[in-house]
C-alpha cells in the first residue's frame, strides 16, 4: 500500500548530515509546515528550523513535539540505530535510509507531472531498480502523452469545485460517479482546457440533474 501523507499538518524532525540528509530535507520541506533539524550543516529554508548541531539533542525535541516522521541519517550506523531506538518511543514513524529493519516506512521514487504524483516502490528491496523503473515510466508518460495539460486543468477545476459537488450530492456512491462523469465529459474538458464557454454553469446543471 502506498499512502499520501499530508505532511503540512504535522511537525517533522531531521537528525544528521551528508548527501542523503540534504536531499531528503529539501524534498520534505516542499510539503512540510515545519522541520526541526539537528545538523552541523548550514540550512537556509523557511520551513526548516536548525535547533542544534548535536545529533543527540534531537531526541528531546522528538519527545516534546511528537513528530509524525523522524528522519535519521548521521552516516554512523551504530549512532543511527541508537537514535532510532530512542526516537521510536515518541515519533509516529522513524525512517533511516537503506535500513529497512529500523524504518517504519519506505520512501517511494516520485514522478511529478503538474498536480499528479506517481509513486514507485519495491518496498525497500531494491532502490536501484526503483530508480530505473522511474526513468522508464517517466519516458513513457512523456512519449505517449499519458498525463496531458488537459488532465492537469481538469484536476484543478474539480479541486476548486469539490466543496460544491460534495454539498450538492450527499450520497457518497453517487458523488463518486459524478466525479468520474465530470472528469471524462468531453464538453467539460474542452471548455476547461480552452477557457471558453461556462464550465461552472454546466457543472451546476449536472449536479442539479442528480
In percent, how much of the chain has pLDDT > 90?
89
Q: What pLDDT score was predicted for residue 98?
A: 84
pLDDT tens profile 38-88: 999 999 999 999 999 999 999 999 999 999 999 999 999 999 999 999 999
pLDDT tens profile 112-145: 999 999 999 998 889 899 999 999 999 999 999 9
pTM (2 decimals)?
Answer: 0.83
| Residue 1 in this model has a pLDDT that exceeds 80 | no
Q: What pLDDT score was predicted for residue 11?
A: 96
Mean pLDDT of 166-189: 93
Nearest 10 degrees: Cα torsion 125, 130, 131, 137: 170
- Residue 178: count of CB within 10 angstroms of its CB: 19
| Residue 209 in this model has a pLDDT that exceeds 90 | no
Nearest 10 degrees: Cα torsion 180, 184, 186, 187: 30
Which residues fall within 8 angstroms of residue 72, CB to CB, at 6 or more apart? 15, 16, 80, 83, 84, 87, 94, 95, 96
Please classify residue 25 by burial: count the beta carbons closer than 10 Å to its beta carbon, then call 0-12 exposed, 13-18 middle and 19+ buried.
buried
Q: What pLDDT score was predicted for residue 9?
A: 93
In percent, how much of the chain has pLDDT > 70?
100
| Residue 29 in this model has a pLDDT that exceeds 80 | yes
Distance CA 35, CA 111 (A): 23
Mean pLDDT of 95-105: 92
Q: What pLDDT score was predicted for residue 46?
A: 94
Distance CA 153, CA 172 (A): 24
Mean pLDDT of 151-174: 94
Q: Specify which residues 26 forms β-bridges with.
A: none
Mean pLDDT (the chain) is: 94
Quickly list H helices, 34-185: 58-65, 77-87, 127-144, 149-160, 162-168, 172-184
Amino acid at each position: 500500500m502506498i499512502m499520501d501523507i499530508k505532511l503540512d499538518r504535522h511537525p517533522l524532525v531531521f537528525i544528521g548530515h551528508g548527501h542523503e540528509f540534504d536531499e531528503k530535507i529539501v524534498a520534505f520541506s516542499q510539503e512540510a509546515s515545519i522541520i526541526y533539524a539537528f545538523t552541523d550543516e548550514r540550512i537556509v529554508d523557511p520551513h526548516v528550523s536548525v535547533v542544534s548541531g548535536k545529533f543527540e539533542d534531537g531526541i528531546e525535541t522528538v519527545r516534546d513535539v511528537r513528530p509524525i516522521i523522524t528522519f535519521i541519517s548521521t552516516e554512523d550506523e551504530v549512532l543511527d540505530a541508537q537514535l532510532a531506538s530512542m526516537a521510536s518511543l515518541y515519533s509516529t514513524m522513524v525512517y533511516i535510509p537503506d535500513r529497512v529493519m529500523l524504518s517504519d516506512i519506505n520512501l517511494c521514487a516520485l514522478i511529478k507531472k503538474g498536480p499528479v504524483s506517481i509513486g514507485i516502490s519495491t518496498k525497500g528491496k531494491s532502490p536501484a531498480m526503483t530508480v530505473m523503473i522511474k526513468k522508464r515510466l517517466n519516458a513513457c508518460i512523456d512519449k505517449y502523452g499519458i498525463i496531458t495539460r488537459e488532465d492537469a486543468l481538469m484536476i484543478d477545476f474539480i479541486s476548486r469545485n469539490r466543496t460544491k459537488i460534495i454539498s450538492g450530492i450527499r450520497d457518497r456512491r453517487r458523488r463518486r460517479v459524478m466525479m468520474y462523469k465530470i472528469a471524462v465529459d468531453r464538453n467539460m474538458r474542452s471548455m476547461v482546457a480552452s477557457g471558453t464557454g461556462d464550465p461552472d454553469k454546466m457543472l451546476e446543471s449536472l449536479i442539479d440533474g442528480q
